[in-house]
Structure 1
C-alpha cells in the first residue's frame, strides 16, 4: 500500500501544533480568493471537486491510476452532515477530471445520474472502474477528523482488493484544499491541481523532510519570486501604503505582477471575474424558474423584485399579472405588497378624501391586519421602495438564488456569501461610478487584500467559524472595496472593513435542511446593505475609532473557537424543529 500522505510519523503533527510560525505574510493571489466555480457551496462543492482532481493527478504521477479497480470515499463531519450541498456530485465529477471553473453546469445532474445508474466511474476521464454509491460512499457524519470539520478520505484498491493508496483532504473554505499532514502544502495559497505548475511566489511555506520527520519551515523564495509587498496584518498593510505612497489596490496589483501575471493578464482576469458576477446577477433576475431545488420548495424572489424595481423606473414597462395576486391568494410573506396591482391613481384608496380609513378587506388588494374599531388604527399599505438600496438587495438575492440552484458563480470569498461583493460592486457601477472599469479594479483588489487577512488570521470556512466567516468576511471585504471606490484613505478603508466584520461577529451558520437557502439568501442581502453602511460610517468618522481590523479579526477567531459546533454549518440546531413543508418565502 502506498500512502499519498508524505509521512505518517507523529513528529509532523506535533511540529504543526507546537506553535511554529504561520506563513510570514498573508499574500495569496486575488484570482485564488476570487475564483469561478459552481454552487451551492465552495466548501462542499468547489473544494471537494478540486480534491478529487488532485487525488487523480497524484495517482497519475505515481503510475497507479491504471491499477485501480475500486474506490472508497468517506465523508466526515460537516461534509457528511449536510449532504444536500451536492458534495457527492462534486467529488465524483472531480474524480472524473472536471474542474469547478470549466465544468458545464448544465451537465452535472445528468452525469451524476449516469454514474448512479450505470454504477461506473471514469477516473481522470479515461479509466473506467465499477462504482456503487451505496457501497462505495461512506457517510461519517458522527465523526470529525482532527484537522478540519470538512474532511474526506479517498482510498483506491487493485483487482485483488489490496489498498493501493489513500489520502485525506480538507476543504477549508473558499474552494481551498489542504492535506491532513502538511496542511499548507496543497492549495492553501493557491488553487492549482499540480503544485509544480504554480508560480514560486505563491508558495510561501514549504515542507522539508529531515530524517524521518516532516518539518514545516519558512520558505525562502528567490528575490524574483518574492512578492514586493508582503503583508501579514492590517497594520502591516497600512504601513506599506504609507511608506510607498500607494493605495491598497496598488499594493495588491504589484504583488499580482510578481506571480507572473502581466498587466494585460491582470486586467483580463479582473474583468472576467466581474463579467461572471454580472452574468450571475443577470441570470438571477431573469430566471424563469419559480422555485429553488430541494424539498423546501423555496420561491425565487429576485425576478419578482427586479420586475417591481424596473416598473418603478419605467412605469410603461409591461409586467405580467400574477393569478395569485388577482385572485387574492398570494402567499403570506410574499414580497410584493398590495401596491403591486394598484397604481397610485386607483380609486380604491386606503383613505377617503377626508382622510378617514376605508375598510378594503373585501378587495383583492387588502393586506391590512388589524382592527379599525380601536384607538390605535392599523397603518395603511404604502410603498417603501428606496430604489438604490432595493437594487442592492435584489442583486445579492439574485446571485445566491443562482448559487442555490448549482449555477455558475464566483467564490467571493465563498459560495454561501457569493452575493455580497457582486451586489455592492454592481451598486457602485450603476449608481456611483463615473469610471466603471477603474472602480471594478479598485474594488476587487482592495477587497482581496482584506480577504487575505481574514484567511490568514482567522478563517473563511463556515464549518470552522460559522457564517461570520462567510457573510461576515464578505461584508468586511465589500465595505473596504466600497470605501476605496469612494476615494477613502487606506486607514479609512481598513476601518470600513473592521466595522463590516464587527457587526457580524457571532453570526452562526445553521441552514435549514442543510441547503444554502434559508437563511443564507436573505443574509447576503443584509450583508450587502451592511457593507455600504459600514463604509459610510467609516468615512464619516474622520479617523476616529477604537478597534482596529487586526483586533476584530482576532476577535472573530476567538469567537469561532468558542462557538458551539452545532452552529457551524451542520444544520443540527434547526432541522429537527422545522417541518418538511415551510412557506415559500
Structure 2
C-alpha cells in the first residue's frame, strides 16, 4: 500500500536507494530482532552489500549508511554530529552501539563485505544482514532490497504478485486506480482534477488537514534545500573535485533579476535544480522526488512557477503541483520502478521529469488528459537514459542532468497544453515501455559504474 506521502520522503543524500534505503534496512533489522526478544543477545553483525549497493556503494556512502542504520539512525531524523561520533567509535575502537541494544564489536574491514559479484534476481540492490550471539549461533539472517526512492522490501514482499489495483490495495479508498487510464476515467466521471481525486484517496489514510500539512512540510523542505544549496560554496566531497556552481549562478541572477527574464528562464531552473543536487552530493537533507539522484527537478520547477506574492496562492499552487506530480509518481512506482539500479536513469530523472511536467500542466490549467499528456512527453524523451555515475558519485552527470530535466519538464508541459487532439502514445504505454527498456538495458548502464561515462571519464 502506497500513499502520496510515501513518494516524497525527507532524508539525506547522496542517494535514496544507496543511503536512505540501507539506513531504513538497518533499523528494520533491529526491529525484527527486538520483536523476537533477541536484540540483547546480539554479539556480532555481518553486513553483505550486493549488486549495485556494492559496485557504487563507496561513492554513494552505502557502507556508512548501513552501519548507521544498525546504530538506529533514521533518515528523517538524522543528526550529522551524532553520526560522526558513532563512526569515529566504529573506526577507532571497532565498537558499534546497536540502536536500542548492546554495543558490539564491529570492524568495517572484516564485518562489511562489498559483494558486487552477487546480483540478486529479485532486485540488484540487495543487503544481507546476519546477527549472531556470543557463541556464534545465528539469531537472524535476512536479505532486504532497496528498491528506489528510499523504499525497502523483504524477499517475501518482492515475491508477492503485483495486483492490478495495487496502488490502493490494503486500504479502501473512494477512487481506486492502478492505471493512468483508470485515473482519467475517474476524473471525467467525477468532474474533478487529478489533484482532487488523489486528495480524496489520501483521506482514507488520514484527515485532509494532515495530508495538506504533510504536503506543506515537503514543499518547505524542498525550498529549504534550494536555499542551502544557493549559499554553500566549495568543492564537493568524493575526489572528483566538482565545484559547486549554483551559488555563483544565483549571484549573477540576483544582481540583475529583470534583465532578459525570458532568456533567463533556463538559468533560473538550472540554478535551483543544481542547488538541490549539489546539496544532495554533499550529503545534505533532501526530499526524494521520486529519488535523491533526481531530487532537483520538482523543487526547481515548483520554486520558479509557484512563486507568488500572496502566501495562500503560493501554498495552494504548491499543493496542486505536488498532488498531481505525486499521482504520476505512484503510477511509475507501482507499474514499473523508480530505481536506477533496475531502470537506469530513465527511472529517476525520467520519472521526475514526467512528474514535474504533469504537475506544471495542472498549474497552468490543463485538463487531466493534458496533464497525462505532459507526463507522457516528459518520459518519452528520456527513454533509454542510462545511469553511469563517474566514480560511483552522484555528481557527474547527475547534477547537470537534473538541470536539463527541469527545463525539459517545462517544455513537455507547454507542448501538452498546445495539443487538443488525442495523443498517439498514452501515459500507460510509455510507463510500460520504460519498464521493458529497463529490463532490456545492460547492467553496465544501471547504477553500477561499469559502463558509459563512468568508464570513459577518469577524472574531472
Q: Return the match for 2:306 from 418, 425, 429.
A: 429
Deviation at 1:202, TM superposition (A): 9.4
Deviation at 1:64, TM superposition (A): 0.6
Distance in 2 (CA, whole Å) between partners of 1:202 and 1:435 is 34
Q: 1:105 touches 1:408 (CA, 8 Å); kept in 2?
A: no
Aligned 1:515-530 pairs, distance under 5 A: 515-530=393-408
Instruction: Say if 2:308 and 2:314, in contact at 8 Å, map to a contact too.
Output: no
Residues 1:118 and 2:93 are matched in the alignment: yes
SS of alignment partner, residue 414 of structure 1: coil
Residues 1:454 and 2:332 aligned together? yes
Pick aligned residue for 1:488 from 362, 366, 390: 366
2-structure distance, mates of 1:437, 1:104: 29
Distance 1:567 1:431 in 2: 41
SS for the counterpart of 1:509 is coil
Q: Aligned equivalents of 1:202 and 1:37: distance in 2?
A: 25
Per mean C-alpha deviation after superposition, the further-off stretch among 403-412 and 118-127 is 118-127
| Consecutive unaligned residues in structure 1, runs of 5 or more | 1-26, 190-200, 206-220, 316-382
The answer to whether residue 250 in structure 2 is matched with residue 306 in structure 1 is yes
Partner of residue 394, structure 1: 271
| Alignment TM-score, normalising by the size of structure 2 | 0.95
Deviation by residue 1:234-271 (Cα, 9 ceiling, x = unmatched): 10000010111111001110111101x11221121111
* Deviant stretches of 4+, over 4 Å: 201-205, 431-434
Which of 163, 168, 171 pairs up with 2:146? 171
2:50 match: secondary structure: strand
List alignment gaps of at least 5 residues for structure 2.
none
Q: Is 2:354 the partner of 1:476?
A: yes
Q: What's the CA shift string for 1:358-389, capped at 9, x where partnerless?
A: xxxxxxxxxxxxxxxxxxxxxxxxx9982233
Which of the residues 286, 295, 301 maps onto 2:231? Answer: 286
Q: Do structure 1's residue 97 and structure 2's residue 72 form an aligned pair?
A: yes
Report the equivalent of 1:233: 179
C-alpha separation in 2, matches of 1:265 and 1:151: 34
Partner of 1:246: 192
Distance 1:170 1:78 in 2: 11
Alignment partners' CA distance in 2, 1:466 and 1:456: 17
Which one of 134, 138, 149 corresponds to residue 159 of structure 1?
134
Partner residue of 2:215?
270
1:33 match: 7
- Paired position in structure 2 for 1:325: none
- How many residues align? The count is 455
* 1:105 Cα offset (Å): 3.4
Deviation at 1:184, TM superposition (A): 6.8
Q: Does 1:407 align with 2:351?
A: no
Task: Determine helix, strand or coil for the equivalent of 1:53.
Answer: helix
Matched, 1:53 2:27: yes
**Cα shift at 1:431:** 7.2
What's the counterpart of residue 197 of structure 1?
none
Aligned residue for 1:547? 425
CA–CA separation in structure 2 for the residues paired with 1:102 and 1:545: 44
The separation in 1 between residues aligned to 2:370 and 2:258, in whole angstroms, is 37
The answer to whether the 8 Å contact 2:277/2:296 transfers is: yes
Taking the aligned partners of 1:284 and 1:492, their CA distance within structure 2 comes to: 33
- Distance in 2 (alpha carbons) for counterparts of 1:553 and 1:432: 37
CA–CA distance in structure 2, aligned partners of residues 114 and 424 of structure 1: 42
Measure, in 2, the Cα distance between the counterparts of 1:86 and 1:244. Answer: 47
RMSD: 2.1
TM-score w.r.t. structure 1 length?
0.75
Q: How far does residue 577 in structure 1 lie from its aligned partner after superposition?
A: 3.2
CA distance in 2, matches of 1:455, 1:229: 18
Instruction: Note the 1:56-71 alignment, pairs <5 A.
Output: 56-71=30-45
Q: Tell whether the 8 Å contact from 1:450 to 1:477 is kept in structure 2 after alignment.
A: yes
Alpha-carbon spacing, 1:181–1:126, altered in 2? closer, same or farther (3 Å) = closer
Q: Which has the larger radius of gyration?
A: 1
